[in-house]
Structure 1
Amino acid sequence: MGRSDLERLSREELIELVLRMQRPEKTSRTSSKPPATDRKERRAQAKPGGAKPGHEGHSRVMSEDPNAVVAHRPDRCACCGGGLHGDLPAEVVSVSERIELPEVAPVVTQHQRLAVRCPTCGARVIAPVPEAARGTPFGPRLHAVATYLKTFQALSYERLQAALSDLFGLTLSQGGLMNLLQRAQKRFRSGRDEAVS
């Protein structure tokens, strides 16, 4: 609206215009407009997403030492249908990777104490209890994983029990988990000091 347009307005129209300009924009907080309209207006005013002009792109770095390499070689010519023998020179056109976690399964080592009858005197001799069979049946890695999930991921005992079952196929009672975590806790000093060796 130009100066000449403003001069033609009556006093009431001019006051109405000034008041209208001073009123805040209607939003869902200041009027009965639905909240969805706020987002649409913000979206229309927003800058476009994505990389800015001149930004150097980044992509995932390919592995320098893959576990396996599979070369996919054409065996027929797409133009004439002729056979392409394996001894023809080839060049790498593109590389893609498929990354997968190894299957995770608990390693269960069963310690059996055997009894043997002495051929000389006939006494029944039982092997001593091995060190690995004393105390908890759970190893240090399982203690570490359970402590990590409980402490850093803040899982409840119920969710920790389910996670160990789903991830590793382990069935542990909540009481067993509590004992496991108490044993692990004793390996740490108070505060955030390093683990006791």
Structure 2
Amino acid sequence: MPAAAQGTPFGHRIHALALYLKSNQLFSYERLQGVFADLFGLQLSQGALMNMFKRTAPVFAAGRDDALAALRGAEVVACDETGMRIEGCNAYQWVFCSSKAVVHTAEFSRAAQVVHDTMAGHEPEVWISDRYSAQQGHGQRHQTCLAHLDRKARFVAENGSDLIGMRVQFWFDRAFRLARDIAALAAATVKNRRRALMRDLDAILASTTDCQLARELLGQIRRARDQILTFCDFAGRVDATNNVSERALRPSVIQRKVTNGYRAKWAADAEAALRTTVDTARLAGRTPFHTILGAVTA
């Protein structure tokens, strides 16, 4: 095949813009076609757009490798996962967040092996996640996401038949206030408030109830008891929630609703590498489009 036939008539900025609109503004192929036609007079087929994405996929491998290296040296890691579709099958978008890196990965599995493969034996000082079993046991200490338990407590407060849900809800309100103010508090104050919270939590857990919803809530909190206030021992370094991971996954959730998934595994892997590069660069203050353009033109 002649060399000219193997190239592309589109420059780096067109490639970067297509990637930016697809991955960051969550455009579908049809909307991308409309944007390029209306703004630039470019009539692009969906096949041409796919070839753009496939052609540029390898350029984000280096950024992903750098982010992985930073993640595997992190002291605090937050992790979450959400469902997705790849090649018509159920799959999962995983995200791993630290202060210096955000790593996305698309896998067909939701098992703990994904964490083992990603972390490559590194055990951070603190692991932040929800109570899903595959998220347990990956750090020296664990911080359970309080937002998940708080949502359950509010549901029980509204739908339960006693006051257990409300008592737990008020307890979480106090815990969130401590998490919000902890960086400005003296160590002795944090210690005293933590002790008071644990004392009151144990009193709630010792309560008896005939409400099934309340019993389930107490059981969840009882199992997570030793992971609930870990953030108190790492003032300003460990969040009480896993919101950072949920925010990192939100674009993937929206895109799932827009496109219903990926037709090929390479596309899911390529977008995960792109998101990894962009989200990690964002931590250093770089904008998504210029990060993508820099990778494409490198």
Same fold (TM over 0.5): no
Q: What's the TM-score once normalised by structure 2's chain length?
A: 0.21
Q: What's the TM-score once normalised by structure 1's chain length?
A: 0.31
Q: With CA pairs under 8 Å and 6+ residues apart, which has the higher RCO, 1 or 2?
A: 2
Decide which structure has greater helix share: 2
Decide which structure has greater strand share: 2
